[in-house]
Amino acid sequence: MGGFSDLLAYKKSFDLAMCIFEVSKSFPKEEMYSLTDQIRWSSRSTNICMVEAYRKRRYKAHFISKLSDSDMENSETKAWLKFALACKYLGENEYNKLTLQSDEVGKLLNHMMNNPEKYGVV
């Protein structure tokens, strides 16, 4: 079994975080310490919590707990995306694209939580 960087959920959540980083560069400067920081933080945390979960896969409960944290961060990212849309910092197409990416990450995380043995959990 390869490392965490081989996981599809890792790759997709990393891509989502980088897309959010790029799109958030155009957010207004007054949002720098609120929406911009928050959406970047939660999207990156989705990915980082997954990495932590992978390193804790020796313990099923820890693995699932960290994946649950990752899922929570992913849900937070979706909420921030909704704010960005409502504030007109994102267009409808960008919002839909990023939300679909987030949905896909969520499905992959849930698969990992429901099938920990497929990820090396004993």
Number of domains in the chain: 1
82 falls within a domain: yes
pLDDT in the model for residue 2: 63
pLDDT in the model for residue 1: 47
CATH code where residue 65 lies: 1.20.1440.60
75 falls within a domain: yes
27 falls within a domain: yes
CB 90 within 8 A of CB 81: yes
121 falls within a domain: no
Give the pTM.
0.94
Task: Provide block-wise average pLDDT over 10 residues at a time, the chain (122 residues).
Answer: 86 98 97 96 98 94 97 98 98 98 98 95 84
73 falls within a domain: yes
pLDDT in the model for residue 122: 78
63 falls within a domain: yes
Using CA of residue 43, residue 110, residue 68, residue 81, what is the dihedral sign? Answer: positive
CB 74 within 8 A of CB 109: yes
Residue 23: give the domain boundaries.
4-116
